Structure 1
Amino acid sequence: MKITHVDEDHWFKDHPSGSLHFQHLLKGEPGSPDNFMYVLAKQQADWSMPRHRHNFDQIRLPLVGENTTYGRGLVLKEGQIGYFPEGLSYGPQESPMNDMQPGEPLGLTLQFGGSSGYGFMSIEQRRQAIRELTATGGQFDGPFYIGPDGKRQWGLTTIWQHVFGESLKYPRPRYGSPIVADPKRFNWLPVKGAETGVEHKFLGAFSERRVWVELLRLPAGTTWSSTDSEARRITTVLVGNGECDREQISYLSTIQADAGEPLNLTAGPEPLELFLIGMPPIMLPETESDQYDLEEFPEEDREPSGQQADRGQAPT
């Protein structure tokens, strides 16, 4: 069991745009297909990113602000939850501040190894690779890396090859677009076996891994205990305060309960609402799927040639 709280003295500027600061809430085991990184992000200035894709899954929840567009008409509004499948292109991302002050736009993002089994590179591996690549004469220009020979490449591709010594594989996406759930349109339903009044909104489960997302609500003074024999669960407080295993929890306190570990929650004098992501282990087939690409963009998803040429090699 791990419980973390927001620490205003530990924000990291790890995003290529330089305009997002991250609070690293939880992380997994480097080298494992199940590795993950769960962050709270605050926006300090306008930023943008070209259309790109990743070899891992993402779940996003904007807590304050709905000013980020993800391309092709997609906007993730405040309070909505988005699932971005591994291998799926999205963007260009545009995120103007509009009328908000620096630090006001706030959101949660979970990045994690998907069903392909290609895993997720840890932030420590990424930071070390950046230091080593710049020490040998290269430089990073936003999301791009410019090598000592002048070659311009999407930065994450370079970092992956440096860390693992092999080409980055992009699983062909299992879904045709990001999936957005609007919790306001889901019903609160009783949680089976729980005390009267404990409710949840089940928002969906994704891919053969069956990663699921739900919201939980405990009435004031209510205790709820549960155990999952298979899945890791990550739970974040969105409303109210209370206790977890006798430790005080409040807004944005985050709990990691691994498979078999009991999750014991008690609401305080007000109802307690929580954001929960369940992460069953990855099961790999005996033979690796041939449904992947080595190039950064499949032909059908490339931008018009003029736009592509303006920014160098297609991003990931």
Structure 2
Amino acid sequence: MHRKFVREGEVSPGVGFTADLVYYEGGHGIFNAPRHRHNFDQIRFIVSGDPDFGHGLEAAGGQSAFFPAGAHYGPEVIEQAEVLLIQWSPDWVTRAQHDETYSEMQKIGEFRDGYYVTVDAEGAEHRADGRNAVWENFMGRELTYPTPRYPQPILMNPEGFDWRPLNEGVSIKSLGRFTEDDVYVSTYKWDARSVLDLSPERMQFIWVSEGEVSIGSDTYGPRTVIFSDFGESVLVEAAEGAKVVSFGMPVPARASVHI
């Protein structure tokens, strides 16, 4: 498994995220991970391949999946695939924080097959989920899982959705909206030259899947990721035939009003 770092930062104030393009090799063994869960939400967009996320959740190229915090998934079996992976949480550990903690933990135990393995004074082996163990060591407290909003990941198949007009020249397949944070996944296509407005109320970003799109005077082709940060408005222009997949990150919580 190889990761190509895409971006890291904050979805909105206090909510950290990271985005990676993950490549799973073919012909050199199959990636396996045990059934597990996390305390953060995830979206996975399947660029290519047929990853198996366990318990009948078998995805295919062009599909997306929402992985709710606290929900179990796996065992994973993945070979010859590419996946765009987006993960976020208010208690996010940055890449630099993770790597430093990981290195320190290797002095005491071993990361193996998705687990962090230690041996006590009596010679007994203890296993913990690898990523969660890093989180606990960095935060200095025990990880508690949230009650999952959904019992398992939700797989979205765009072939099962109909196109609907969004504006003059652009059509949409609204694949899903999730949780009180209004996280969304949609697909857009241009039927004529037109503009898609990524509005400022949240971070949004798109994966260009077909054709070319333009931001101002710059033009981008397939396999480009374009971010529109919270508080920023980005106008995406394209001609007929262009297609993108769009991911809307959590809308920031609004302050309570006391009467």
TM-score by length of 2: 0.87
2:237 is the counterpart of 1:238: no
Q: Is the 8 A contact 1:241 1:248 kept in 2?
A: yes
2:89 is the counterpart of 1:142: no
CA distance in 1, matches of 2:129, 2:61: 30
Deviations, residues 111-144 of structure 1 (Å, cap 9, x unaligned): 112xxx4x3222222111111222x332222322
Distance apart, 1:53 and its partner CA: 0.3
Deviations, residues 201-231 of structure 1 (Å, cap 9, x unaligned): 11111011111110111245x2314252411
Q: Per the alignment, do residues 280 and 30 of structure 1 end up closer, same or farther by CA in structure 2, a change over 3 Å counting?
A: closer
Distance apart, 1:284 and its partner CA: 8.4
CA distance in 2, matches of 1:62, 1:120: 23
CA distance in 1, matches of 2:22, 2:227: 19
Determine helix, strand or coil for the equivalent of 1:35.
Answer: strand
Distance apart, 1:242 and its partner CA: 2.9
Q: Per the alignment, do residues 203 and 31 of structure 1 end up closer, same or farther by CA in structure 2, a change over 3 Å counting?
A: closer
Deviations, residues 168-218 of structure 1 (Å, cap 9, x unaligned): 121011112221111111111111xx3x22111111110111111101112
**Alignment match, 2:187:** 215
CA distance in 2, matches of 1:145, 1:54: 15
Q: Is the 8 A contact 1:31 1:121 kept in 2?
A: no
**Alignment match, 1:88:** 71
Distance apart, 1:285 and its partner CA: 9.3
CA distance in 2, matches of 1:218, 1:30: 27
CA distance in 2, matches of 1:249, 1:122: 28
Distance apart, 1:264 and its partner CA: 1.6
Equivalenced residues, count: 249
Residue type of the alignment partner of 1:143: G
RMSD across aligned positions (CA): 2.3
**Alignment match, 2:31:** 47
Q: Is the 8 A contact 1:24 1:40 kept in 2?
A: yes
Q: Per the alignment, do residues 161 and 285 of structure 1 end up closer, same or farther by CA in structure 2, a change over 3 Å counting?
A: farther
Determine helix, strand or coil for the equivalent of 1:166.
Answer: coil
> Aligned match of 1:188 in 163, 180, 186?
163
Residue type of the alignment partner of 2:113: G
CA distance in 2, matches of 1:198, 1:125: 41
2:36 is the counterpart of 1:36: no
- In the TM superposition, 1:19-168 aligns within 5 A as 20-29=1-10, 33-45=14-26, 46-66=30-50, 68-95=51-78, 97=79, 104-113=80-89, 117=90, 119-134=91-106, 136-147=107-118, 149=120, 151-168=126-143
Q: Per the alignment, do residues 79 and 31 of structure 1 end up closer, same or farther by CA in structure 2, a change over 3 Å counting?
A: closer
Q: Is the 8 A contact 2:198 2:236 kept in 1?
A: no
Distance apart, 1:29 and its partner CA: 3.2
Higher strand fraction: Structure 1 or Structure 2? 2
Q: Is the 8 A contact 2:170 2:196 kept in 1?
A: no
CA distance in 2, matches of 1:166, 1:285: 28
Q: Per the alignment, do residues 29 and 40 of structure 1 end up closer, same or farther by CA in structure 2, a change over 3 Å counting?
A: same
Identical residues among aligned pairs (%): 30
Distance apart, 1:165 and its partner CA: 0.8
CA distance in 2, matches of 1:178, 1:148: 33
2:250 is the counterpart of 1:276: no
Distance apart, 1:32 and its partner CA: 5.8
Determine helix, strand or coil for the equivalent of 1:171.
Answer: coil
TM-score by length of 1: 0.72
Residue type of the alignment partner of 1:37: T
Residue type of the alignment partner of 2:21: L
Unaligned runs of 5+ in 1: 1-19, 98-103, 287-316
Q: Is the 8 A contact 1:190 1:199 kept in 2?
A: yes
Determine helix, strand or coil for the equivalent of 2:138.
Answer: helix
2:171 is the counterpart of 1:199: yes
